[in-house]
Each structure stands twice: as structure tokens, then as C-alpha cells.
């Protein structure tokens, strides 16, 4: 253990030092988030299209800015689901559209965002050429289209874009015949840059097989759902390419909980979506990915026991679930379900001082290498401050005519000037938001 961690001093430092330099690590934005209070935010609209617009606005409100929008049809689920990791890759929203033309609220959101690029998921039978023309007339300079002969080909083509330039060694395998399992996995896929590959119950479609064959670096396959949705026959076929893991459950609600637990996703922020119908949840993948939130499925009028048990477990193990989102209006997730979910929320962590105390008269922050290590240790311990003891018995590490400069041989040998503090400058490399 390093000396600056000794004697438990990396916990709260409440003592008074003769002279202290305090460096705050957390950013102002993070502090504001902690003070926002517990509760859920409902992202809803009169239609699925307006809901997708409001999710887009929430991404902006979180400080996630992108020059790209992803466009997908809103009356079928496949394109928007496997497009989630692609959208999250560029911190882009998924804006839903009818096949024939953009709705006015979607046009207004595009005008507000002013993207230079749009990616359309699906052929002209899914999103018409008229929509493409409308995007260009709204000032979108580049309009791309990812189109396949069917949802499986579309999944493979989109996955090519997801893995391009990345290091993904894992793929999510989900049924292309229903939406819940792919939706449950969309958060972790978006966070990790993993493709979502759609399959049939008893068959890996040719476009997916070809994708897997082209990407031998992908050696791990995670099937979402039980054998009734993705059979053991498909599992056996995948085993010829690498390691296969199945995350199943008695129903779609339990599967969503098992996904969150399997990947040990954070529990401070959760997203809840209707597990019986897809429209309001379709645009939630990028939001879940960018906020690191698991997607937990619920029934419209009742919180399923699988979800309530998960929330109770979080609360009983002193987890901190204090914020989250509900996707869709009360017709999708009722006010009663919202009330039940809210009953499990806790107040956010109180602002507290979690600091490292560094004795500058010993090794620990005397050289650039030591400062680098100190900051890594602080970040790993999730501390938010550093105390530097820079005065003791009249010997000082700062320029003062009333105090002699230190004669510490280590400091003299390193020729470090204290006219410009070294720690804050180097800390800013590790902790954005530090001046």
C-alpha cells in the first residue's frame, strides 16, 4: 500500500492542516447531477414519433452532442433495435418516422439539431425516398442508407458499421421475430460497441453467418432469451465460431433483469419500458447506452414481480437507485407502475468529502510519475479531493520570504518549481472539468 493510502487516510479527511492545497476532482456538472434529487423522468409524447423526439432532446440535455441522426421506421421494431449500437457510437438519437414522410415534430427536431449527416435504416420500402429528400431539404448534407433484403441482412450491414474501427470481440444474438430480448440487450450492446445480430428460432440466416465468418475477431456470442426464442440448434451452430453464453429467463421481464445482473450494469440509473409493445421503447437504446442504464421491462399496468424483486434487492443491499427514465406515456407505463418504481428510489449520495492526504515530506507527489500514480489511485478509489501537506515545522514547499525553501534533496534533484502547481495541471488530464 502506498504511503498516501496508509493508516486509512484515504477516507474522510476532516483534520485541520497547517497549510493545505485542495484539488477537487469531480466536475461541476457531476455535482449538479448529484443534487438533482431522486426520481424518475418520463419521456413521452402523443405518438411514438414525438416520444423519439423527446428522447433526442434528453440526449442533448445530458450534454451528448452529435452531428448525426439515425432515422428508422416507427411501425416495425427490427431496424431501430439493431441500430441502437450504431446510434450510440456517435451519440446520435434514433428518430422514428412513418414510411411515407417525416412528421412535423421530427422535422422541427432536425432543424433544431442541425445535423450534417443522417443514416437511414432500411430500404425505401421501410423509409421512402421522400424522407431522404426531406432530410436534404432540411439542410442535412450527407444522407446514407443502410438497406438489406430483410431484417437479417439489415442487421448484418448495420453491424459492419458498428464494429468498424473498434475492438469488439463479442456479439449479441437475439430473435428477429420479436422485440423484447433485443431491447433488453440494447443498453449493454450500445455501451460496449457490440453488434446485435438477429437470428431465426432454429436458423442463423445467411447474412448473419457471412458476417460472423468475416469477423473472426468476434469469438464470444451471447444469446438473449431461452431456447423457445433462440433454439439450442442455433447455439450449437454458433459454438463452431466461439464461446456461446445464454442469458434466459422464465419470461421477457426476467430476461431483462438477468441481462442487467449478468453484465453487472450500474443500478443508480435505470430505464423502464413497456415489455408488451415496442413503439415508445424503440428509441431508448442510445439513451440507455450513453447513460449506462439497464433497460428493465415492465407490464403497462403492473410492475412484474421479476422487476420488483430486482428493485427490492437493490434497495436491501444498499444500492443507490435514485434516478431513471420511463419511456412512453401512461398508456405505455401507467402512473401506478411509476409510483411503484418510485417507491424503490433512494436519495442520491450526499455530497461528502472523500479525500487522499499526501504528506509532501515523503514520496507520493514529488515527481510527474508520482503525481500520475496518485491521480490514478484517487480515481480508482472514487475520491473527490486531495490534501497536500506542504508545511511542517517551518520547512515549506512554496515560495515565501518568511519561510525557507525546502532543502529536501528529492525536490532539489527533480528541479521542480512551485511557482506553477504541478498537480492541478496533470490532474486535468485524468479528471475532465478540473481547471
CA 251 to chain CA centroid, Å, is 25
pLDDT digits (tens, 9 = 90+) for 73-110: 999 998 998 999 999 999 999 999 999 999 999 999 99
Percent of the chain whose pLDDT exceeds 70: 80
What confidence score (pLDDT) does residue 40 get? 87
Which of 112-116, 321-325, 396-400, 418-422 comes out lowest in average pLDDT?
418-422
Query: CA angle, corner 50, sides to 194 and 123, nearest 5?
Result: 55
Rounded distance between C-alpha atoms, residue 48 and residue 279, angstroms = 6
Strands in 291-351 per DSSP E: 295-298, 323-327
Indicate if the pLDDT at residue 24 is higher than 50: no
Using alpha carbons, select from 153, 227, 287, 303 the residue that is nearest to residue 295: 287
Give the mean pLDDT of 193-199: 98
Residues 6+ apart with CB under 8 A from 326: 40, 41, 42, 43, 44, 271, 272, 273, 333, 337, 338, 341
Give the mean pLDDT of 218-224: 98
pLDDT digits (tens, 9 = 90+) for 318-372: 778 989 999 999 999 999 999 999 999 987 666 678 888 888 777 878 788 888 8
Give the mean pLDDT of 293-304: 97
Given pLDDT bands bounded at 50, 70 and 90, which one contains residue 280? confident
Give the mean pLDDT of 12-40: 35
What confidence score (pLDDT) does residue 365 get? 83
User: In terms of DSSP H, where are the helices of 334-407?
Assistant: 335-342, 368-380
Question: Measured on CA atoms in the order 241, 247, 250, 254, is the torsion positive or negative?
Answer: negative
Strand partners, 405: 396
Rounded distance between C-alpha atoms, residue 256 and residue 247, angstroms = 9
What confidence score (pLDDT) does residue 363 get? 82
What confidence score (pLDDT) does residue 36 get? 32
What confidence score (pLDDT) does residue 350 get? 63
Q: Which three cell numbers stand for residue 150?
A: 430483410
What confidence score (pLDDT) does residue 19 get? 33
Which of 37-46, 71-80, 334-343, 397-406 comes out lowest in average pLDDT?
397-406
What confidence score (pLDDT) does residue 393 get? 56
The answer to whether 136 touches 162, Cβ cutoff 8 Å, is no
Rounded distance between C-alpha atoms, residue 246 and residue 229, angstroms = 11
What confidence score (pLDDT) does residue 405 get? 60
Residues 6+ apart with CB under 8 A from 7: none
pLDDT digits (tens, 9 = 90+) for 118-146: 999 999 999 999 999 999 999 999 999 99
Task: Burial-class residue 394 by CB neighbours within 10 Å (0-12, 13-18, 19+).
Answer: exposed
Give the DSSP H or E segment for 94. Answer: strand 94-97
Residues 6+ apart with CB under 8 A from 176: 78, 151, 152, 155, 198, 199, 200, 205
Residues 6+ apart with CB under 8 A from 157: 146, 147, 148, 207
Q: Where are the domains of the chain?
A: 3-30+351-430, 36-342
Which of 82-86, 164-168, 205-209, 318-322 comes out lowest in average pLDDT?
318-322
What confidence score (pLDDT) does residue 414 get? 52
What confidence score (pLDDT) does residue 392 get? 61
Amino acid at each position: 500500500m502506498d504511503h498516501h493510502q496508509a493508516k486509512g487516510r484515504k477516507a474522510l479527511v476532516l483534520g485541520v492542516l497547517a497549510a493545505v492545497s485542495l484539488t477537487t476532482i469531480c466536475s461541476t456538472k457531476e455535482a449538479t447531477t448529484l443534487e438533482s434529487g431522486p426520481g424518475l423522468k418520463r419521456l413521452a409524447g402523443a405518438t411514438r414519433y414525438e416520444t423519439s423526439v423527446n428522447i433526442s432532446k434528453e440526449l442533448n440535455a445530458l450534454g451528448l452532442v452529435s452531428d448525426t441522426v439515425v432515422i428508422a421506421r416507427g411501425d416495425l421494431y427490427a431496424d431501430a433495435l439493431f441500430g441502437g449500437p450504431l446510434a450510440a457510437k456517435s451519440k446520435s438519437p434514433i428518430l422514428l418516422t412513418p414510411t411515407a414522410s417525416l412528421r412535423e415534430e421530427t422535422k422541427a427536431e432536425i432543424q433544431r439539431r442541425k445535423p450534417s449527416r443522417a443514416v437511414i435504416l432500411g430500404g425505401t420500402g421501410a423509409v421512402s425516398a421522400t424522407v431522404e429528400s426531406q432530410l436534404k431539404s432540411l439542410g442535412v448534407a450527407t444522407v446514407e442508407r443502410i438497406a438489406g433484403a430483410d431484417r437479417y441482412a439489415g442487421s448484418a450491414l448495420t453491424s459492419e458499421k458498428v464494429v468498424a474501427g473498434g475492438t469488439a470481440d463479442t456479439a449479441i444474438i437475439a430473435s428477429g421475430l420479436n422485440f423484447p430480448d433485443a431491447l433488453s440487450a440494447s443498453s449493454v450492446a450500445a455501451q460496449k460497441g457490440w453488434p446485435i445480430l438477429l437470428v431465426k428460432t432454429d436458423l442463423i440466416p445467411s447474412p448473419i453467418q457471412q458476417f460472423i465468418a468475416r469477423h473472426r475477431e468476434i469469438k464470444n456470442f451471447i444469446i438473449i432469451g431461452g431456447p423457445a426464442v433462440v433454439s439450442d440448434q442455433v447455439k450449437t451452430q454458433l459454438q463452431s465460431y466461439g464461446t456461446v453464453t445464454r442469458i434466459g429467463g422464465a419470461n421477457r421481464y426476467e430476461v431483462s433483469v438477468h441481462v442487467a445482473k449478468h453484465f453487472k450494469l450500474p443500478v443508480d440509473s435505470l430505464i423502464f419500458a413497456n415489455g408488451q409493445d415496442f413503439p415508445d421503447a424503440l428509441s431508448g437504446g442510445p439513451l440507455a447506452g450513453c447513460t449506462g442504464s439497464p433497460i428493465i421491462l415492465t407490464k403497462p399496468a403492473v410492475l412484474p414481480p421479476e422487476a420488483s424483486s430486482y428493485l427490492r434487492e437493490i434497495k436491501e443491499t444498499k444500492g443507490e437507485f435514485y434516478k431513471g427514465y420511463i419511456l412512453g406515456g401512461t398508456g405505455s407505463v401507467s402512473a401506478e407502475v411509476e409510483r411503484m418504481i418510485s417507491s424503490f428510489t433512494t436519495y442520491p449520495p450526499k455530497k461528502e468529502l472523500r479525500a487522499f492526504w499526501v504528506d509532501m515530506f515523503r514520496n507520493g507527489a514529488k515527481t510527474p510519475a508520482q503525481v500520475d500514480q496518485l491521480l490514478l489511485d484517487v480515481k480508482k478509489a472514487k475520491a473527490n479531493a486531495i490534501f497536500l501537506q506542504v508545511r511542517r515545522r517551518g520547512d515549506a514547499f512554496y515560495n515565501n520570504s518568511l519561510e525557507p525553501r525546502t532543502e529536501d534533496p528529492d525536490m532539489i534533484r527533480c528541479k521542480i518549481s512551485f511557482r506553477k502547481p504541478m498537480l492541478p495541471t496533470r490532474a486535468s488530464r485524468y479528471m475532465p472539468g478540473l481547471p
